[in-house]
Amino acid sequence: MRICLLGAGNVAVHLGKQLQAAGYTLVQVYSRTESSARSLAQALGCAWTNSLQSLGMADYYLCALKDDALPGALKQIPSFPGIWLHTSGSLGLEVFEPYTRKCGVLYPLQTFSRQRELNLNKVPFFIESLSPELLVEIHSMAEKLSERVYELDTARRSYLHLAAVFACNFSNHLYTLAAEILQEQGLSFELLLPLIDETAGKVHEQSPKEAQTGPALRMDRNITDKHLAMLQSEPERAELYSLLSESIFKSNKQV
């Protein structure tokens, strides 16, 4: 099975390499950015292009473009042979609709960084297609990457993506704010790593609501007021502190 990969970002890099390792033939990489296309194509030992008019023949066209780039890119592609898949949590199948009926979704629920090695085997993959035959093909592709493959429709995949934004993107940003607070005091972010690991580790054993700790849980005003005073020169952090503390307190009261 020959795959043409559209995109050369973090998702494309990881999926491309692991699909190749799983026995698929990567034939071409497209990226608008020539250097990215070239670099990934080199790693995969295949052709590259930065022109959508120059896509070659393949069995699969795997679109790992940014969500806001995919609809525009599809409009520029002259014809639609093969099977078209995208890897987005938030886009539906209808993005392919004007062009092809042989389409589906292969969404890995994970945060990808270029430099970091990542074993996809435990990563949940969510697949979708209107064609039962194609769903079987996509299932077989996903199974070669991961032991956790689930069928999920677009609507619920969107909520899954929204939940992932809270659990991953927003949590990581709170790490950033914590790192800034420490840096301002000449303290190393590394000090927080055992705490961050344990916070993530705890929710393997108990629900996050049960795992909640800290001053906001019982609204210990001595501490929360003191923290807000310490954040006085950073109104954005202070607003987040207030809002998250109130949300924790309310959530706890609902037990």
Total residues binding a copy of itself (CB under 8 A)? 90
Does 243 engage in binding with a copy of itself (CB under 8 A)?
A: yes
Does 200 engage in binding with a copy of itself (CB under 8 A)?
A: yes
Neighbours of 90 (CB within 10 A): 13
Q: By C-beta, is 47 or 150 nearer to a copy of itself?
A: 150
Residue 16's closest CA among 53, 54, 67, 63?
63
Can you tell me which of 21, 22, 57, 203 binds a copy of itself, judged by CB under 8 A? 203
Q: Considering only residues 24 through 53, tell me which ones interact with a copy of itself, judged by CB under 8 A.
A: none
Can you tell me which of 2, 10, 20, 80 binds a copy of itself, judged by CB under 8 A? 10
Radius of gyration of the CA atoms of the chain, in A: 22
Does 136 engage in binding with a copy of itself (CB under 8 A)?
A: no
CB of 176 to a copy of itself, least distance (A): 4
- The 3-state DSSP class for residue 3 equals strand
**Rounded to an integer, what distance in angstroms lies between the CA atom of residue 1 and that of residue 60?**
8
220 and 207 Cβ atoms separated by less than 8 Å:
no
Full 3-state SS string of 95-134: HHCCCCCCEEEEEECCCCCCCCCCCHHHCCEEEECCCHHH
Does 98 engage in binding with a copy of itself (CB under 8 A)?
A: no
146 and 122 Cβ atoms separated by less than 8 Å:
yes
Does 124 engage in binding with a copy of itself (CB under 8 A)?
A: yes
CB of 209 to a copy of itself, least distance (A): 5
Can you tell me which of 64, 123, 134, 142 binds a copy of itself, judged by CB under 8 A? 123
Can you tell me which of 2, 32, 38, 227 binds a copy of itself, judged by CB under 8 A? 227
Q: By C-beta, is 57 or 210 nearer to a copy of itself?
A: 210
